Amino acid sequence: MSAIAAGSDQHAFSHPVRVYWEDTDAGGVVYHAQYVAFLERARTEWMRALGHGQEALRTRHDLVFVVRAMRMDFRRPARLDDALRVSVALTECRRASLVLAQAIHRDGELLLDAEVRVAALGASGFRPRGIPEPLYSELRSKQVRPD
């Protein structure tokens, strides 16, 4: 497990999430597919914090990022009413794709870690394309190296 997944990298972005009834199964445990939504929200808020909301990427750059592959390790369950921290760290920035390390913690305890690969597509035709400058340079400057 990398320092980023463990939550010790100070350059990782962190987004708070509260667990609601709609996120859980009948036993009050977060349903496994809901973690994907938590990770997506954090990636969206990370981009917004960089000044690049989803709508702006689409309209200004004809760009969308789509998940190409995801690996998740479920370590502990999250439960109803838990306050979670979902982190995002860019570990690889290529011309037309990104690799992000993500993790979900509750009170410092690692519940889930993930590696998410996203591809850059043209919003108008959903075909692969390069990330436009200066966005590419900005993203490269945010890249961190996992342990």
Burial class (CB in 10 A: 0-12, 13-18, 19+), 131: buried
Residues 136 and 82 sit within 8 Å (Cβ to Cβ): no
Residues 120 and 65 sit within 8 Å (Cβ to Cβ): yes
In this structure, is the dihedral angle defined by the CA atoms of residues 56, 65, 71 and 91, taken in order, positive or negative?
A: negative
**Cα 78 to Cα 105: distance, rounded to the nearest angstrom:** 9
Q: Per-residue pLDDT averaged across 52-77, rounded?
A: 96
pTM of the model: 0.90
Residues 86 and 37 sit within 8 Å (Cβ to Cβ): no
pLDDT digits (tens, 9 = 90+) for 80-135: 999 999 999 999 999 999 999 999 999 999 999 999 999 999 999 999 999 999 99
Q: Give exposure, 25-64, as e/b (b: 16+ Cβ within 10 Å).
A: eeeeebeeebbeebbeebbebbbeeeebeeeebeeebebb
**pLDDT attached to residue 135:** 95
From the candidates 23, 25, 62, 73, which is the catalytic residue?
25
Residues 5 and 103 sit within 8 Å (Cβ to Cβ): yes
Is the pLDDT at 7 greater than 80? The verdict is: no
Q: How far apart are the first and last CA of the chain?
A: 8
113 is catalytic: no
Residues 29 and 21 sit within 8 Å (Cβ to Cβ): no
